[in-house]
Structure 1
């Protein structure tokens, strides 16, 4: 840093100016950040050990002894040589130089003293002789009775072995034997180690003052495992990638889409009615207005933007929440792409580095919010933002550290590691937080509330019991917890059992789903509170989203008691610390999006009356049919990678649509000199026309390519070719992939990117139904029926989008009206004639009389097809209305009948 400063601008060391102090702080921060960056760079590399992971024949291979502890308590560990084992005779480095993350994780590597050389077999050899005292025999007996296991490392690959064998028979009584021989089987591929296995045998009874030998043996064998894949044996794919994991994720995803759609529709629909009533009142005379009609959230518009109590604490929580949310997202993505779970302590190292790097985020957001609330003590607030989470973690770590020191456990944190963490906090985290707070305070500006806050707070009326804030807070976490319940089970299992959690793609998706669910629940809870004329919404919305931690804590207690066999204080403390970390993660996921979104919603008065009826009519007697997933698990053919491909392609389509509108549609609208209103509608139709035409041509090509055109001419032949064991052709998989991704993108586009029309709610329902039908027919191998549905529907959409484009371009000649007539005929032929004749008849009649007896979920499939048919009837009546209006002269030019509701309301106003 000093080399970057010109010589004539250097500040002398004897200067006490503010700029010199700031320069010293920046230099120290840059030094520490450089150290952490180098450490993070090293763990992201393939070769992450102090060695190169490559050996020459006869080169030394180090065996490190780590920890020992009870098998049923993974979190209770002690140094390996705390038991009276002995070392080998080989002299080498006595102790491994652990990193900060190793010390925090309780890693305590010590050299074994065993002589192991690359590709050199070692016969059975005694490396030491033990003569135990009574106390040492008791220590071994305690370890064997509690099923103690030990851990070793060879070339960063872990090995586990059991100390001894314990039996307790009624006839022979209690028997405890110690394993004295260890067989190491090491697999190599070229000049790298790719496999390690440990076998313990030669059991002996332990007696005081009786000498016995500890022996070892090394066998080298070639292996075909690649170096990059050597860690795969430790990853339990059968557990983490079980089909129920995929289906639970899909179920949560569909639930989130439905919930977001419902809440968005509720807000837009009811808010429009409220504003229509208020606009009508404004146009009336004072004596004609009915002031008694105002109720609910409208009554408290002068108090809803009042600053909350304890604004400093509130801003610190929001700032810290966004900080850790960014941290969680970045660490998950780094771990997913960099496979950090393959290297010991890499995830924790990346977490510490990223937390320090993103410290300005906490100060910036907290400073903006605190200034918006009119706070003056910004330095104290900045210190609070920078110290809140570190002090919380330090408190939990101190309690656990005291317990670990009392038990002489490896979970205790060394003094040097604590000093390093404190230095990172004092020299990096805290200064960066202060800088972010200063920037946020200066960039926040003045509060820009849409209305003035009343000088005197309005009295809060009495509410019914189910509208009390504490009950709203408790209920706000139920649905979010249900959306992540399955993933929490997998995380707890990896924490308490000998499993490596590596499905961070699942964790990322669950994080996004949790944010969406919590956002929707916060909006509903906030509306319920404001509609009861209680303006204290900020803390209630915050705590309603954070209440998921209550259910997580209760579930962690249940899991600890009923799913594990844990004991002693250290385990309970470990469970508590794990809960604090998990609860913070869940709260932080909600804070930045949900509270801020709720603030935007409330600022624009997007609190709707329908939610009140929703809460009043909600019934808790419904039970979800979990047997559905059990049956679906047995019959599904949908591959897991296809789900990822669909999600990725849906995001790509959204980006392509943005570029299509920006670089093609807008220049065309400007060239054709269209009005602003038409310029906003034309891109939607051009994009849909392009996509529907591409999808329909792709479906036609697939029908010809896979010889499935015969199903259109002879639909009943589908069931003669149907088999649950057949493979779906690759071309059909491509059709389903593109169609599903398009409808996922179309759902998002209808809600957030297109103008809301009379049938928009039906359009959203249609897209969700299409996604469900595509996924269902793809998974249950009903693709022969599904591809006919796609063929009949996409061609009608092509004609419909062409008609809309003609209307926007104001083509009013006879060809225009002839095309309108052709559109009605095409929609009728494809959707109302051929669809029931070719699809419904085949799916209903053919499945009953011609299909196999064990067709999975065929009634559900037929029900969804009938729903799609009714939607087609609903849309066809718009076309008939359009033709009727043209024939009767109601419209002189072609209008989209779906916009009649908006037109009529504007004329009425």
Structure 2
């Protein structure tokens, strides 16, 4: 290769690595101290709607713009979420109130008016950021006991639609006046302040002024010198073609006792549906109680079986074997399509490792909501590096099944699950791109994702497979007969489809209450930060998947059916079917999505989540059953 080509290749590789590193950049969350009069930078974020689930950049609407629009550095998680953080024309000074500041004056054409109306119809909200705190709109809500509580909602509505002044026709009104309230905590020793709250009250006001418009024109509808301040939308600003709209804002500062370390507490309690702790803990206690009962029954039954079988071996009279011991010569026979089972088991180990480490970091507080996109970035990063465990697990199982071509199994482990997810993701991204939404993943980020997959994950899977295949093969505790034993006719309740579907109910029951709050945080744009409780639910899910699979596997072996390999995977994995059905139920009962594209996005992403849940729970059940069968057959004496 000549020097220019080498130089070009080196430059391209360097740029690619810099882009990947930039994708994983997480903004700092260190406290920032402000003196009186220090400038405060207000940034604008995406426009969001729970009706369409399609985010748009702030400047996709004809809002006032600064002299030059500057994009903020965003990590991979932020880009995938559709965040587009840019500077704004709103300028504050610390602890210096401002009244009736004019941002700009706009006259809408037909296209711009139509864009505003469409966003108002779809109930889009405007999101802003100050000192890494998102803008919230406080609203009052009365509970059952009639006590008023303050609920915070992210952002404010672009506008509203309704009838005005006795008109029978519904009209569109824009929120063009923003009354900001910045809460700060003051340090009495240093006289510096830290921002602990960023609130807004939006108003729709048809501003008036005298004479011709100029930069020094004073509004008659909002004049602090004449004590005319905006306190209501009594004369709202209509959105129509050739309408003149004047955008204004107020800023007030309020001293707060809330310390900087606790400033996110109000944001984390934004859910309209309060979490009923007693109900959730009660459900978890029931699941724990049932799991304990199942475990106790299994241990007592198995102990009796093993004692009986070993007693028979010590007696001189020959007695016919019964129950699960009867199929000892076939129980470790390799299953049909064993290669695919190895691939799914390895992928499940990768999912399990990613979920476990992510939750541990979240519980320890490393993935706080102040790190926007941090959770998704961490999950992708961990998924990539857990590829080494996926390769190791699939190769170990493959060698136990007497496989010889470890490279082929490594290749399938590298591409089967991620490839399926990638195909669905690319289709959904094409739909988002067709809607010109900021949620569409840019080409550079897409290229970085492909590089992470092919450049890091795939090589690590091959490394893990190489190490796993070089290990000594796992020895079966009993010998396998050359001729397969005939399986007797099974009772109706031992039918594979029936037992698999029954087996998925208990694992789903362990998580479905928490699933409601997770879906609410994702699709209703609320914060979810109860990771300590979620970690407990995850542990209970593991125990439940393992125990229900072991119980059904034991019944299956007692019925002299030794085809347990795939059934053990599908038994707990079938909980993913219930997850998807619950997602469909949630869609029709809780969401107000009307656009076909938005519905396709919802079901597409929930299909990806259900597929990942299937791989995770299926692998937990499979390895629990694998350990169980090896344990019981190594505990009895077999000639």
TM-score, normalising length from structure 2?
0.82
Q: How many angstroms apart in 2 are the aligned matches of 1:330 and 1:36? A: 21
Show CA shifts across 1:72-112 (max 9, x none).
44x22222222222314xx3552223222111110012222
Q: Aligned partners of 2:97 and 2:416: how far apart in 1? A: 56
Shift of 1:392: 2.9
Deviates more, 1:588-597 or 1:538-547: 588-597
How does 1:22-421 map onto structure 2 within 5 Å? 39=24, 46-47=29-30, 53-73=32-52, 75-88=53-66, 91-159=67-135, 160-167=155-162, 172-189=168-185, 190-201=192-203, 202=205, 203-236=236-269, 242=275, 244-260=276-292, 262-285=293-316, 288-291=317-320, 294-338=321-365, 339-421=367-449
Q: Deviations over 1:227-246 (max 9, x none)?
A: 1212222111787874x334
Two-structure CA RMSD over aligned residues (Å):
3.0
Determine if contact 1:367/1:378 at 8 Å carries over to the other structure. Answer: yes
**3-state SS in 2 of match to 1:543:** helix
Q: 1:38 to 1:141 in 2, by over 3 A?
A: closer
Residue pair 1:71, 1:149 contacting (<8 A) in 2 also: no
Distance apart, 1:154 and its partner CA: 1.7
* Largest Rg, 1 or 2: 1
Q: Which residue of 2 aligns with 1:525?
A: 552
CA offsets 1:402-431 (integer angstroms, 9 cap, x no match): 110111111110000011111122222111
Note the C-alpha offset of 1:558.
0.5
Distance 1:471 1:68, change over 3 A: same
Mapped partners of 1:59, 1:93: distance in 2: 22
5 Å matches for 1:483-632?
483-584=510-611, 586-605=613-632
What are the ranges of 5 or more consecutive residues in structure 1 without an aligned counterpart?
1-12, 15-27, 609-909
* Structure 1 residue matching 2:427: 3-state secondary structure: helix
Q: Contact 2:55–2:437 at 8 Å: present in 1 too? A: yes
The Cα of 1:33 is off from its aligned counterpart by: 12
Kindly state the Cα deviation for residue 301 of structure 1 after the two structures are TM-superposed. 1.2
State the alpha-carbon separation in 1 of the partners of residues 514 and 595 from structure 2. 27
Q: 1:581 to 1:230 in 2, by over 3 A?
A: farther
Residues 180 and 280 (structure 1), Cα distance of their counterparts in 2 relative to 1, 3 Å cut: closer
Call closer, same or farther: CA 1:187–1:512 in 2, change over 3 Å: same
Cα 1:146–1:37, aligned 2, differ >3 Å: closer, same or farther?
closer
CA drift of 1:379 comes to 0.8
Match of 2:229 in 1: none
Instruction: Assess if the C-alpha contact under 8 Å between 2:46 and 2:126 holds in 1.
Output: yes
Alpha-carbon offset, residue 532 of structure 1: 2.3
Deviation at residue 506 of structure 1 after TM alignment: 1.0
Counterpart for residue 462 of structure 2: 434
CA contact under 8 A between 1:331 and 1:351: conserved in structure 2? yes
Conserved 8 A contact 2:50-2:593: no
Which structure ranks higher in relative contact order (CA pairs < 8 Å, sequence separation ≥ 6)? 2
User: 3-state SS of the aligned residue for 1:62?
Assistant: strand
Cα distance in 2 for partners of 1:469, 1:317 equals 19
Task: Report if the CA contact (8 A) 1:66-1:109 is conserved.
Answer: yes
Distance change in 2, residues 1:256/1:584 (3 Å): farther
Question: What are the equivalent positions in structure 2 for 1:682-831 lying under 5 Å apart?
Answer: none
Structure 2 CA distance for aligned equivalents of residues 460 and 346 of structure 1: 52
Q: Aligned partners of 1:237, 1:126: CA distance in 2, in Å?
A: 31
CA deviation string 1:280-301 (max 9, x = no partner): 443455xx5343xx34422321
Shift of 1:591: 4.3
Residues 790-821 of structure 1, C-alpha deviation per residue, up to 9 Å, x if partnerless? xxxxxxxxxxxxxxxxxxxxxxxxxxxxxxxx
1:520-539, Cα deviation, whole Å (9 max, x unpaired): 11011112222222211010
SS for the counterpart of 1:342 is coil
How many residues matched? 568
Whole-Å separation in 1 of the counterparts to 2:106 and 2:307: 90
**CA deviation map 1:258-313 (0-9, x unaligned):** 423x333333333333334433443455xx5343xx34422321111011222222
* CA pair 142-36 structure 1, distance change in 2 beyond 3 A: closer
Greater strand content: 2
Give the equivalent residue in structure 1 for 2:145. Answer: none
Give 1:323 deviation, angstroms.
1.6
Decide whether the 8 Å contact of 2:50 with 2:525 is kept in 1: no
Q: Distance in 2 between matches of 1:191 and 1:95?
A: 27
Q: 1:32 to 1:322 in 2, by over 3 A?
A: farther
Residue 328 of structure 1, CA deviation: 0.8
- Give the CA deviation at 1:433: 1.5
Seen in structure 2, the aligned counterparts of structure 1 residues 132 and 46 have a Cα distance that, compared at 3 Å, is closer
Q: Distance in 2 between matches of 1:484 and 1:278?
A: 39
**Secondary structure of residue in 1 paired with 2:176:** strand
Q: Distance in 2 between the 1:34 and 1:267 partners?
A: 54
Q: Which structure: greater helix fraction?
A: 1
Q: How much does 1:133 deviate?
A: 1.5
Residues in 1 aligned to 2:633 and 2:87: alpha-carbon distance in whole angstroms: 65
Q: Greater CA deviation, 536-545 or 521-530?
A: 521-530
Question: What's the offset of the Cα at 1:394?
Answer: 1.4
Deviates more, 1:423-432 or 1:206-215: 206-215
CA–CA distance in structure 2, aligned partners of residues 268 and 223 of structure 1: 58
User: Which residue is 1:479 aligned to?
Assistant: 506
Distance (Å, rounded) in 2 between the aligned partners of 1:574 and 1:580: 10
Cα pair distance change 1:157/1:500, threshold 3 Å = same
Query: Which whole-Å CA distance do the structure 2 matches of 1:383 and 1:400 have between them?
Result: 26
Partner of 2:450: 422
Structure 1 residues 551, 597: closer, same or farther in 2, change over 3 A? Answer: same
| TM-score using structure 1 length | 0.59
**2:50–2:523: 8 Å Cα contact kept in structure 1?**
no
